[in-house]
Amino acid sequence: MEKLIIEIEQRMVGLLNNFQMEELHKVLMENFHGLIFLGRSNKSYDDKVDYCNLFICAKGVEGCSDKSIKYYKSTIDNMFKILKKPVKHITTEDLRNYLSKYHKNSNCSKVTIDNIRRILSTFFSWLEDENYILKSPVRRIHKIRTGKIVKETYTDEHLEIMRDNCKEIRDLAIIDLLNSTGMRVGELVNLNIEDINFNERQCIVLGKGSKERRVYFDAKTKIHLKNYLKSRIDDNEALFVSLLKPYKRLKISGVEIRLRQLGQKLNISKVFPHKFRRTLATRAIDKGMPIEQVQHLLGHQKIDTTLEYAMVNQNNVKISHRKYIG
């Protein structure tokens, strides 16, 4: 009975207003109360269609990365596994309960829950756009409020200490390139030697969504990069390779482990590649670079993402208060 009522209401969503929908629900509940519906032995068309796979295929065509697609699929599959309902029978209440129980049972952060909500919203909105359902049940589930955490950036002193204590010239070049360009670590390890334009002190990286963008590095980085390449005895096309034979292209995990070890040795907390990116954004905004240019430099689609990366220097806020307010 519940499934039948939902299907009827789904069909009437675009024709009735909220008040009329409430009245329709009351009438259906009153008239169907006490009736027995015989189940069908054969599965309906909705049960046979793999809506998750259709959505994943569409995202692949749109150019989503393998990592994003894997996250989409696991999140949606888990939702179906727990709810055990055909997609057209899933309600807003079902999803609210699912998110609430997931948060309670997994003891994860609100940020994680909002990421799940966002993915489910994207999935059901796509189903609505493709006319598989009449209305997304996630529409009435709003963004989950999360506590604002002030994330750390590297101080000038920390950067110089790390530079001075690099035993390998490769590691020094990596730190300088991350610090001066703000590129993602995944973009860094995918660079080839031929991608570097030393005359213009720039290179083109392949960012998220297979989008290319130009990034720039300073004179210090140029010198250290050239010194590193001169020291190489291999013929690998990759810009950064392992220190030992067979000198394979350096992986993301290799960069992360190397930086973490350096931080532990120097007693500097939370040394990891992405922190250089946040440090660059903060430094650029503090020095007056327009936020739109910082957004382009980092390769962000939305300016809100750029603002989240940049931690405004409190001293600058104090100076501006005295200048503009008194």
Is residue 322 flagged as an active site residue? no
**Cα dihedral 163→259→219→155 (10° resolution):** -70
Q: Cα separation of 45 and 134, whole Å?
A: 16
Exactly one of 208, 213, 249, 296 is catalytic; name it. Answer: 208
> Exposed/middle/buried for 229, CB within 10 Å: 0-12, 13-18, 19+?
middle
Exactly one of 25, 103, 232, 274 is catalytic; name it. Answer: 274
Is residue 274 flagged as an active site residue? yes
Is residue 300 flagged as an active site residue? yes
Exactly one of 222, 258, 275, 277 is catalytic; name it. Answer: 277
Q: Cα separation of 288 and 122, whole Å?
A: 36
Exactly one of 88, 184, 275, 283 is catalytic; name it. Answer: 184
Q: Are 162 and 180 in contact (CB under 8 A)?
A: no
Q: Cα separation of 29 and 31, whole Å?
A: 6
Is residue 158 flagged as an active site residue? no
Distance of CA 280 to the CA centre of its chain: 19
Exactly one of 51, 98, 228, 309 is catalytic; name it. Answer: 309
Distance of CA 202 to the CA centre of its chain: 26
Is residue 309 flagged as an active site residue? yes
Is residue 96 flagged as an active site residue? no
Q: Which residues are catalytic?
A: 184, 208, 274, 277, 300, 309
